[in-house]
Amino acid sequence: MATALDRPKGADIMPIYTCTIAESTLSAETKRELAGETARIHSSINHVPSTYVDVAFHELSADSLYTDGEPARPALVSAWVRAGHRDAETTHLATEIATAVTRITAIRAERVLVVIQSSPARYAVEGGRVLPEPGHEQSWIAGSLRRPAMLSDERLQFPTLDKASPIRPCNNFRLSHISRHSRR
């Protein structure tokens, strides 16, 4: 399976899936299989390369997951995708992911919850660039392949923005400020 490292530089238009489960519920092999199937399903329904799909497993202690006020061992899958996909496609995506979770993990369907949330692509930034709206990926990728890396330890660079752009660069922002302020 391809990994995030196999992506063309700057081609990181990605949905994010987070599967919250109780610790030790899934083996590494089961996680790998579910991540691969999630990427395949997302790719086939939303027509993006599967290498753009990120899946994270968030494991909580057994006393941290409850259903109806009682300890439980559900699989809770939350996802963020760019707004603009047809409702029917998003519903199909959620049902296919839920079916895959049950099939691969053996967690009963009654214990699987899949929620797909969306927001405009312009609300997400990756690699220093605002994500493109669905259907505009190719020009976004082509633009990123021509640019040098935009994140450095010193400054965030926004070389493509000009005076006509509605998005303004933050020229005085330094990554070192983050680490300095986060130590307080």
pLDDT per residue as tens digits for the range 47-74: 888 877 999 999 999 899 999 999 999 9
Question: For position 28, what pLDDT does the model report?
Answer: 98
Spatial CA neighbour of 114 closest among 34, 1, 10, 33: 34
Tokens for 52, please give them.
């753009």
Q: How far apart are CA 59 and CA 21, in angstroms?
A: 5
pTM score = 0.69
- Say yes or no to pLDDT of 183 above 50: no
Q: Where are the domains positioned within the chain?
A: 4-122, 149-184
Tokens for 129, please give them.
């660039």
Q: How far apart are CA 37 and CA 97, in angstroms?
A: 8
- Contact assessment for residue 54 and residue 4, using Cβ atoms and an 8 Å cutoff: yes
Of the given ranges (76-85, 113-122, 135-144, 163-172), which has the lowest mean pLDDT? 163-172
CATH architecture of 4-122: 2-Layer Sandwich (3.30)
Question: For position 141, what pLDDT does the model report?
Answer: 75
Question: For position 2, what pLDDT does the model report?
Answer: 43
Q: What rounded mean pLDDT belongs to the chain? A: 77
Amino acid identity, position 181: H
Which of 68-72, 104-108, 141-145, 165-169 is most confident? 104-108
- pLDDT tens digit sequence for 3-41: 444 444 333 457 899 999 999 999 999 999 999 999 999
pLDDT confidence band for 140 (50 / 70 / 90)? confident
Question: For position 45, what pLDDT does the model report?
Answer: 93
- Say yes or no to pLDDT of 164 above 70: no
Distances (CA, A) of 47 to 39, 54, 74, 137, 156: 11, 15, 29, 11, 30
- Contact assessment for residue 170 and residue 156, using Cβ atoms and an 8 Å cutoff: yes
Question: For position 54, what pLDDT does the model report?
Answer: 92
- pLDDT tens digit sequence for 77-114: 999 998 988 899 999 999 999 999 999 999 999 999 99
68 phi-psi bin (left φ>0, alpha ψ -120 to 50, beta other): left
Question: For position 3, what pLDDT does the model report?
Answer: 43
Which one has a higher pLDDT value, 33 or 153? 33
Q: How far apart are CA 173 and CA 181, in angstroms?
A: 13
